[in-house]
Amino acid sequence: MNKLNHIAFVMDGNGRWGKKKGKSRNFGHLKGVETVKKIVRASIKLKIPIITFYVFSSENWKRPKNERSYLFKLIKNYFLKEINSIIKQGIKLNILGELNKFSLDLKSILKKSINVTKKNKKIIVNLAINYGSKKEIFQAFKKSKKNLTIKNFEKNLYTKNMHNPDILIRTGGYQRLSNFLLWQMAYTELFFLKKLWPDFKANDLSKVIKKYKKIKRNYGNI
């Protein structure tokens, strides 16, 4: 049976879900946050050590300003309202990505949230915010080129000292990686679901894990 250390999520379909319900794309993003909370709780129950959510890509800056502003407000309010619950649940928060483009107050809240949860050990929750895998790889190469080995290179990735994802779950129907953890997912099992992210349930997570446990993972062997 395959060991499970890390699940990565591409939370696609929030905006489409909102429009499908006759409301705004932002309403879909709001509901998507509720799904994140449920999946974190389910992951804790399932004793998954690490989960990573693709929150905001470096390409998402192309989205309309009002949608970006709403997303940043959601992130800010989530940490302001939920930080005590996050601490009680034993969640260690980590950010993958560059925070320099965000407002001072959002950067401050994110850094504070990381600091106050750094000793928690029940689960690591990575939030990929303003993240792009190509740039991550390029920067890691620049930092390690004087002594370029795979080991030194991986020390300069955001995910240093972490297991690479065993599973990628992408909701929303599209079958692509979208510049997400390209180096880290060399041997990841990929699961693409038609469900939009707000409709994704803990039971769907359990079904994917059940399928994963039955896969023969060869890593080039037979």
Written as tens digits, the pLDDT of the chain (222 aa) is 789 999 999 999 999 999 999 999 999 999 999 999 999 999 999 999 999 999 999 999 999 999 999 999 999 999 999 999 999 999 999 999 999 999 999 999 999 999 999 999 999 999 999 999 999 999 999 999 899 999 999 999 999 999 999 999 999 999 999 999 999 999 999 999 999 999 999 999 999 999 999 998 887 776
Active site residue 199: no
The pTM assigned to this predicted structure is 0.96
Active site residue 105: no
Sorted by where each starts, the structural domains of the chain and their CATH numbers stand as 6-132+165-175+189-214 (3.40.1180.10)
The contacts of residue 215 (CB under 8 Å, 6+ apart) are 2, 189
Of 12, 14, 26, 126, which residue is the catalytic one?
A: 12
The contacts of residue 211 (CB under 8 Å, 6+ apart) are 191
Of 5, 60, 120, 179, which residue is the catalytic one?
A: 60
